[in-house]
Every structure is written in C-alpha cells, then in structure tokens.
Amino acid sequence: MRVFVDPDLCEGHSKCEKSAPAVFEVRDDDLSYVLLDPVPEEHREGVERAVRVCPRGAIAMTEDNE
Amino acid sequence: MTQVTLKPEDINLNDPEIFERNQAHQVFDYLRNNEPIHWNPEGERNVGYWNITKYEDVMFISRNPELFISSKGITSFYPKDESELDEQMSGNGKMLITMDPPRHVRLRRLVNKGFTPRAVNAMEDHIREITNQVLDDVAKKGRCDFVLDVASQLPLAVICGMMGLEKKDWPYMFELTNKVLGQGDPEYQTDAPEELRGTPEGARIAGQMGTMQMFGFFAQQLQDRKEHRKDDLISLLVDSEVDGQHLTDEDILWFCFLLILAGNETTRNAISGGLLALSEHPDQRQQLQNDMSMLPTAIEEILRWVSPVTHMARVATQDVEIRGTTIKEGQRVVMWYPSVNRDEDIFPNPHTFDITRQPNDHLAFGIGEHFCLGAGFARLELKVMFEELFRRFPDIEKDGEPERLRSTFIGGIKHMPVKFTPEA
C-alpha cells in the first residue's frame, strides 16, 4: 500500500506517529512525513488506525494495484 | 435524577431544560438504542432537524464537509422564516467555524501555526504562571465560586493575551461571551427588559446585544492595531493575505469574535466539569492525586465525559442515506457529542468515568475539516490547572450544588461553590 499526508490539512497532532511509529514522523515543521514507500503490509493495522484517528482527516492510503 | 419514560415522538432537543437539569444522557441513551437518527420536530420559530447520536455517523458526516456544509449555521437553531435570519448578524459563512472548503483551509492556515502542539507546548511556563496567579487570588479565602474565580480565569487570560487585549478588558470579554453563548440563560439576559428574561425573545436580545458590543470593542482594537502593530493575533490577521488579498475588516472582526468565544467558554466548562466529575468519583480522584502521571488519560476522560460543546449542525448538499434513513438535500443534521462519546459500540462501559481509559478516541473536539483549532490549548490548560490545583489545594471539594447553564449548545456550569484549606 501507499500512504499520503496532505500537508495543507496536517497540523502535527501526531496521532499517526503514535498509531504507526515506523510509518509516520512528525518533524519540526509540525508536519507528518511518511517514511516508507510503499508501506509494507505488516503496518496495515497501524496505518488504518492512523487514517481513522487523524483529527484533520489528512491521511490517505491506496492499494498497490490501484 | 428523575427517570422519565421516553417515546420518540416526545423527544425534543430544542428544550434547554433537558440540559439545565442534566437529563440529556437519558434522552441520548434512548435515541442511540431506539432511533439513532431521529427527526426532531420543528420549534415555534425554528426548523426541524435530524438528531445524530451514533459515533460512526458523526464520523461520516464530519469527514465529508462538502456533503454536509457548515455555512448554513452550526447550531441546531435555524429560523423557519429566513427573513428572521439577519445575514449581517448570523456570521454564517464568515468565520472558520461556519465556513466550507476550500476557503476554510486557507483561512485556517493563517493562524494554525500558533495552535500546533509544538507552539502550544512552548507556552507551558506562561500558562503555569497565569494559573498560579489565578490560584493566588483565592488561596487565602478557602472558598470561592470555582467557575467565576478559577475555571473561567485561565482560558480567558490565555486567549486575551494571545489577542493582545489589556487586562482591564478581560472581564468585559467574559461578560460578552456569556451574553452570546449563554444567551438562552436568563442570568445573562441583562440587556432584555425584565418581563422578557427567560423567553426566546430575551435570548435573541441578549445574543444580538452581545454580538454588537463585541464588534464595537474589536473594531476599536482593529483600528489600534492598524496604527500600531503588536505581537498578537489581531496584528497577524491585519497583515495576512488569502489568495493575494488582505482580509477585510469584517473578516478580521468575525475572526476575533470566534477566537474570543471559542477560547474562553469551552475550556472553562471542561475545567469545571472535570473537577465536578472527579468530585463525583472519589475513587478515581484519589487514584489520580496519588499518581499525577495519570493526568493525560484522565484529561481525555474528562473531555469525553463533559463534552463541553454539545453539538454542531451541518446541512446536506444532496440526498444522503445514513443507517437506512434518507437525509434530504437542504435538511439539517445535528451531531450530539455527549451522545457519541458514550456510544456503547465504541466505549466499553460508556457511563463509567475511568481515568485510565485507553483507547479513548472521543470526539469532544469534533474531527476532520473543523477539528477544534484550540484543542492543544484546551489540553494544556487542563493539565496545568489540575496539576497546580491539586498541588496547592489537594482537599478542594464541592461546597454546594453546581448551577448549570440553560443552553442546548454549551454543556456549561455557571457557578460551583468550592471549599479547601486556605494557604497560610
């Protein structure tokens, strides 16, 4: 899967980092960055949780075959 | 608490007494389990609307801001006779909270750097200093009105400070906030003739006067900042541009209006409601006071439990089916946060106040496009307040019954007498 953070929406709440620490990193500019591309399947649960709990709805994921 | 037997046709959340008497959870429990999407009948002056009481449905609506817009007003009240809606006074479409994408994001980005977790945390020492000044003022008395003397003072000082307002103006901001957001409560209808207090007309007068007075005040502030910039949010707005255009005076005034209201009413009620919840659950309180490292999860539980903003409304831009019910284009949906935050499908034992609850994905700040801009400040103010409060007044307790606000929009407490061992 591939994961994207919309920098216009992200406000650095860091819920994604807590949900999937291997995938997301919130840096000094208060934006979350995706560390892996593509994101290995083992992180699916964490990423799905990140998408769900992101306060701003800033995270999107696509499947490899899309 | 009196038990009431409910029937869907009797349920009418236009009635502020349900909230004033603290009976809303009985209604919400019933709706979630029997009619989670419930048509609320129209009032004498306002249109009917759908009550949305399940967590997943509020998530869906919040995540689709184009399908469910905010620019037709964000409270449950919308007049049947649209000529009653004073466009100038309603603020619909003019503030972040009543604005839709894409303009919403652009305007929000002007200020959101000042509200990110990092920016907020940099304010911790400052917030602790204010908190201790607030507590100093009551420390020797041993009793006070917790809402007026403590809970309201911290958020008021923080937001007024960020907006560069002088201390002499803070009590006036408190008074006007109460008139606007507490307009349904006779206590704040001081601008209405005595015989109208406690009536819908009294509420209309209080809200309108409060809004006009707020605009008068901020128009002066704006003029002052145009002449002398300061390091504050108003000056920042004066110099801001969206799509290459400066904000109009009207844009800035509505921005100020929103910041001052949202910044001081909601956190006040989370602090008061938090102390009340802890007092009513002495075992939880003891656990927390024994180990203050539990405060972060305790604060999330307070937010879930209190849900200081009771609802946000949206209007459907096309027919949408939710849970088998068709919401028609143009109809109003009202998302009830106290209800979704006790949704049995999401929170095990939802009516148990548990300061260790995890996960705790409550929606007290909303979610999505309009997620509360000030959430970071609210959390930090709660943290510092309870740390300092329990450090200095560990035996603080209720000294009488709290008086709740008569409002369907704000889950507020107006007064709460407390006592504690005075500092020497």
Instruction: Report ipTM (2 d.p.).
Output: 0.94
Question: Which residue is closest to A13 within chain B, CA to CA?
Answer: B117
Which H or E element spans position B154? helix B153-162
Q: What is the pLDDT of residue A66?
A: 59
Residue B236 lies in a domain: yes
The reply to whether omega before B102 is within 30° of 0 (cis) is yes
Q: In this structure, is residue B36 part of a structural domain?
A: no
From chain B, the residues in CB contact with A13 under 8 A are 117, 375-376
Q: What percentage of chain B has pLDDT greater than the value 90? A: 93
Domain assignment present for B141: yes
Give the span between the Cα atoms of A53 and A64, in whole angstroms.
Answer: 23
Q: How confident is the prediction for chain B on average, in pLDDT?
A: 95
Contact B368 A28 (CB under 8 A): no
- Please state at what angle helix B282-290 crosses helix B375-392, rounded to 10 degrees: 80
Tokens of B137: 């003022």
Helix (H) or strand (E) holding B107: helix B103-111
The amino acid sitting at B36 is P
Whether B63 contacts chain A with CB within 8 A: yes
pLDDT at B258 over 70: yes
Residue B333 class from Cβ within 10 Å (0-12 exposed, 13-18 middle, 19+ buried)?
buried
Question: Residues in chain A, how many?
Answer: 66
Task: Give the model's confidence band at B9: pLDDT under 50 very low, under 70 low, under 90 confident, else very high.
Answer: confident
Residues 6+ apart with CB under 8 A from B96: B104, B107, B108, B255, B258, B370, B373
Residue B83 is predicted with a pLDDT of 79
Residue pointed to by tokens 């009340």? B276
Find out whether B333 and B339 touch, Cβ atoms under 8 Å: no
Q: Regarding predicted confidence, which is higher, B90 or A60?
A: A60
Across the interface, do A30 and B118 touch by the CB < 8 Å criterion? yes
- Does the residue B31 lie in any domain? no
Q: Say how far apart CA B413 and CA B272 lie, in whole Å.
A: 7
Residue B242: DSSP 8-state:
E
Question: What is the pLDDT at residue B3?
Answer: 55
Q: How far is B22 from B179, CA to CA, in rounded Å?
A: 21
Average pLDDT of span B303-323: 98
Angstrom distances, CA of residue B25 to CA of B215, B284, B308, B309: 36, 21, 14, 14
Residue B340 falls inside a structural domain: no
Domain count, chain B: 1
pLDDT tens string B327-338: 999 999 999 999
Among B105, B116, B361, beta carbon nearest to A53 = B361
Q: How many CA atoms lie within 13 A of B74 on its CB side?
A: 24
**Residue B311 CB contacts under 8 Å (≥ 6 apart), including other chains:** B75, B76, B334, B335, B336, B337, B408, B409
A60 contacts A51 by C-beta, under 8 angstroms: yes
Answer whether residue B215 is part of any domain.
yes
Q: Answer yes or no: are the C-beta atoms of B270 and B306 closer than 8 Å.
A: yes
Whole-angstrom Cα Rg for chain A: 11
Whichever domain contains B283, its CATH number is 1.10.630.10
Range of the domain at B120: 59-67+85-320+364-419
CB contact B60 to A (< 8 Å): no
Q: Where in B117-268 does DSSP place strands (E)? A: 143-145, 241-242, 245-246
Q: Which domains are assigned to chain A?
A: 2-57 (3.30.70.20)
The one-letter amino acid at B106: R
From residue B197, alpha-carbon distances to B106, B148, B193, B203, B212 in Å are: 41, 22, 7, 8, 19
Contact check, Cβ <8 Å, A30/B371:
no
Q: Cis before residue A7, ω within 30 degrees of 0? A: no
Percent of chain B having pLDDT more than 70? 98
pLDDT value at residue B351: 98
Going by DSSP bridges, is the β-strand pair B332-336/B49-52 parallel, antiparallel, or unpaired? parallel
B368 and A57 in contact by Cβ < 8 A?
yes
Alpha carbons within 13 A on the beta-carbon side of B229: 7
Is residue B16 scored above 50 in pLDDT? yes
Residue B191 resides in a domain: yes
pLDDT of B6 reads 75
pLDDT at B137 over 70: yes
Asked if residue A22 has pLDDT above 50, the reply is: yes
Which residue from B116, B361, B365 is facing A30, i.e. has the nearest CB?
B116
Residue B105 has pLDDT above 50, yes or no: yes
User: How far apart, in whole angstroms, are the C-alpha atoms of residue A49 and residue B62?
Assistant: 17
Count CB neighbours of B160 within 10 A: 22
Q: Is residue A26 over pLDDT 80?
A: yes
Contact B182, B63 (CB under 8 A): no
Whether residue B254 lies inside any domain: the answer is: yes
List of chain B residues whose C-beta atoms are within 8 Å of the C-beta of residue A55: 365, 367-368, 371, 375
Give the residue, B1 or B19, on which the prediction is more confident.
B19
Question: Are B371 and B104 a contacting pair, CB within 8 Å?
Answer: no
Task: List CB contacts of B376: < 8 A, sequence separation 6 or more.
Answer: A13, B115, B116, B117, B119, B120, B121
pLDDT of residue B177 exceeding 70? yes
**pLDDT of res. B376:** 96
Return the pLDDT at B7.
Answer: 80
Chain B residue with minimal CA distance to A55? B367
Chain A residues within an 8 Å CB radius of B105:
8-9
Closest CB to B368: pick one of A28, A30, A56: A56
Token readout for A15 is: 């819920």
Is residue B1 very low, low, confident or very high in pLDDT (cuts 50, 70, 90)?
A: very low
Residues of A in contact with B368 (CB under 8 A): 55-57
Residue A8: per-residue pLDDT: 93
Residue B58 has a pLDDT of: 98
